[in-house]
A and B are shown apart, each in its own frame.
Chain A
């Protein structure tokens, strides 16, 4: 394995992370939040020192031997490093006194989960709040993708950027939009930034302060879910809630759709089957919930608003809440859990199992039924009128298996803490799908602080596995990854 080159990439990642800590540090400086300012600058110092050592080690890095395996391992370790060092400001400033809690909170931020162990968010210093929300924005599109857009890591080595991008970007078949990986990353980030800015402006027009608009927009854009108030979104105006519903859904659409729209290829953009499935599911789920929960709310508008917001927050895997859906009737709660699983579109900032995988599994199942009736039938599975390669289907099946196994093991392990099955199961679903709140003891009005440190670490690993789509994390545990060929 090309450890030197990986080290070089880690060093770059840490440089980026240190640079990203500068704005919250300055915010703390201007608002005279001495403890957090000091914590930010100390963390930056530590991170830069580690990055420096890594640069020294990786002086003779050779980028030519960099393949899928290196890409996966690099992504896995990069994200662990990001979390482990990114949480230093929380820990050092005393905002979160326990390191495991700080790690949980940070990983929850970078993986755009939004699960929190904090009981009272409102007392946090502004700098720390900014860092918490901004981590969603960074994690949403991916740090490595960002790195790909700003530096030319690849000189002679050519395809290796793709191995990294594939392992960081969600979806079963990650492709490029333009020939160069650097240009592809740039386009992604421009679309991302553009949409975020529009969101900030719309929130600002709704009467929020600039700081609040930014933080909330970061959380929406990355489909994260860290709020600024203890009741998340419940006390904001209906306008803010509608805007956020819309943007949560917009950020869960495959970004290549926006690129096609920019290229004025509207037919290809709106004809995308995953895109259509996503909106159909949003519509059906909202309608069913509206009918089911109508008696709980006074006006129809309020019912629709809360239902749509909840569907948006769960399908985009954001995790904001305007209402406590834990109090809904069990039919709606069942839909909530189902939506948690389904998730957003591939190539978006959202998490979950991904719509395209559902589509592939559904069609693959239909084909199996067909072939059991006509055993010698040959049939290709198509999406968007293009045949899907069999190995992508195999990977999708394997992904489902890996997903289920992780859910089962995680639920088993955290059940040791003694919470109800509903709590444990939805806690795992909420973290593995990068949503945030679950039901019962981890519902929208509660948080994850009740779990033991061990369970928190398990859930932290689930969040990483969910964000990176399992393989980069599983591969770190595999012995053959580290074995030297003799």
Chain B
């Protein structure tokens, strides 16, 4: 597909990287020629310097022949104007706009209709929702949902003294007493897709699949403390903090926000009457100490500086805060921070990129195409959700008779409302939802690609 990306910021670049390597033809527009110069040296794309809302620039970029416009400049208004202008030049174009000003969130839905947007994205809101999801059901470092929330892949770290240490995977169900499957393991920066003989070690990060109730069951039997979160402290009073406070308020979770800028504090205090807004510097220990950070159930580091976020989370860990979330704006340097006790890592840029990538994949309506794609294990493994349809081969055959590719593993089959962890006796039928995990080098874009007897 021909895709026009307006704005070569963090999200624009991440999208360029992702979509270009998926084989799309990307044209990147930005005002700053330096940024474009960098981008063109890194990705196989063409760039154009100019205002992406200007008709002349869009025409020169060839918007008339484009399939999709992703407006991701740092100004919401420019994004909307770019979308309107592009629509005028090419009525058939799909459009995605980033709208992130909290004041516009209310009207996002109506804007979608008025401007005929295909998708509105708000990375900060998305990140806040993701964090809220983790905090509402604590215990996992990360959770990805599939098949209308009937399947999840959760991330679990094996801490010292865990009952999982030295357990072989084939005898795992004896410990967890639940129907779950370890789909992938990160050990020392390397992603492994384990078999039954794999033995769990300390510091492994497990990626476990199962139905949500089964995963819950597992947590209880593992004795992982699963106390509900009641009071959250947030470092930094940016957009994510605002959205998160709102979101948590709906679940009656109390929040405190520490912000360094006095005006910002006043603004937040007006917008969030139920939150405690503290004017102070997070990098100053006395601020955190005077708030008794150790008394909170959860600490979320959301300042604009990744380094400060990491340090704040480490400090929270030192004070035994049970749930820690760290935002990293620049991206997830997996191997670098892997062994730091900074809890769940949230990267708004990646969340939003994956959201758009999912939309783009869905646009190419191929039969048996992926319904959704999630990255796990620091992006080294992809979990892809498929729907089996009448073109899918091996329908109704027992899995032990079907040969799948070495690097593809079926981790769950959902029939109607029932989710099953597959074994050799399992079958899948038309209409079932199947989740497959695979390492990223494999080219799996439809369900039939996972079978050994290859191309259809």
Contacts and interface: CB of A to CB of B under 8 A. Distances in A.
Given A156-B21, A158-B17, A158-B21, A179 B33 contact: no
Contacts of B20: 158, 179
Contacts of A176: 40, 46
A117 interface: no
Interface string A161-193: 111000000000001111111110000000000
A71 to B, nearest CB: 9
B44 A389 contact: no
Interface residues of B, number: 16
B41 A389 contact: no
Interface string B19-30: 011000111000
A470 to B, nearest CB: 20
Contacts of A181: 44
B42 A179 contact: no
A335 B177 CA distance: 92
A183 B2 CA distance: 13
A389 B33 contact: yes
Nearest to A163: B41
B167 to A, nearest CB: 36
A159 B43 CA distance: 4
Question: Which of the listed residues A176, A179, A180, A181 has the most CB atoms from chain B within 10 Å of its own CB?
Answer: A179
Nearest to A154: B44
B46 A178 contact: yes
B360 interface: no
B25 A68 contact: no
A246 to B, nearest CB: 31
A176 B41 CA distance: 12
A68 B40 CA distance: 11
B272 interface: no
A179 B25 contact: yes
Nearest to B38: A159
B45 to A, nearest CB: 5
A181 B20 CA distance: 12
B41 A179 contact: no
A389 B21 CA distance: 29
B21 A162 contact: no
A180 B33 contact: no
Interface residues of A, number: 19
A67 interface: yes
A163 B41 CA distance: 7
A161 B43 CA distance: 9
Contacts of B42: 158-159
A175 B28 CA distance: 13
B54 to A, nearest CB: 14
A179 B44 contact: yes
Nearest to B37: A389
A183 to B, nearest CB: 8
B26 to A, nearest CB: 5
A161 B25 contact: no
A162 B41 contact: yes
Contacts of B44: 154, 158-159, 161-162, 179-182
B25 A162 contact: no
A299 B39 CA distance: 58
Interface string B308-335: 0000000000000000000000000000
B310 to A, nearest CB: 26
Question: Which of the listed residues B2, B33, B44 has the most CB atoms from chain A within 10 Å of its own CB?
Answer: B44
A158 B28 CA distance: 14
A159 B33 contact: no
Given A158-B17, A158-B21, A179 B26 contact: yes
Contacts of A177: 46
A158 B43 contact: yes
Contacts of B2: 179
A335 to B, nearest CB: 38
Interface in B4-61: 17, 20-21, 25-27, 33, 39-46
Contacts of A389: 33
A162 B40 contact: yes
A335 B44 CA distance: 43
B41 A68 contact: yes
Nearest to B17: A158
Contacts of B17: 158
Nearest to B20: A158
B16 to A, nearest CB: 9
A68 B45 CA distance: 16
Given A158-B17, A158-B20, A389-B33, A180 B43 contact: no
Nearest to B440: A156
Nearest to B24: A179
A3 B173 CA distance: 49
Nearest to A183: B25
B443 to A, nearest CB: 11
Contacts of B27: 179
A67 B27 CA distance: 21
Interface string A144-164: 000000000010101101110
Question: Which of the listed residues B27, B33, B39, B46 has the most CB atoms from chain A within 10 Å of its own CB?
Answer: B46
A67 B21 CA distance: 18
Nearest to B3: A179
A154 B20 CA distance: 12
Interface string B401-428: 0000000000000000000000000000
Contacts of A163: 41
A304 B281 CA distance: 81
Contacts of B39: 159
A207 to B, nearest CB: 45
A62 to B, nearest CB: 13
Given A179-B27, A180-B25, A159 B46 contact: no
Contacts of B26: 179
Contacts of A159: 39-44
B41 A178 contact: no
Nearest to A175: B46
Closest A-B pairs by Cβ, 5 of them: A179-B25, A158-B43, A159-B42, A179-B46, A158-B44
Interface of A: 67-68, 154, 156, 158-159, 161-163, 175-183, 389
19 contacts: A67-B41, A154-B44, A156-B21, A158-B17, A158-B42, A159-B39, A159-B44, A161-B44, A162-B41, A162-B44, A176-B40, A176-B46, A177-B46, A179-B20, A179-B44, A179-B45, A181-B44, A182-B44, A183-B25
Interface of B: 2, 17, 20-21, 25-27, 33, 39-46
Given A154-B44, A159-B39, A159-B40, 13 more contacts: A68-B41, A156-B21, A158-B17, A158-B42, A159-B43, A162-B40, A179-B2, A179-B44, A179-B46, A180-B25, A181-B44, A183-B25, A389-B33
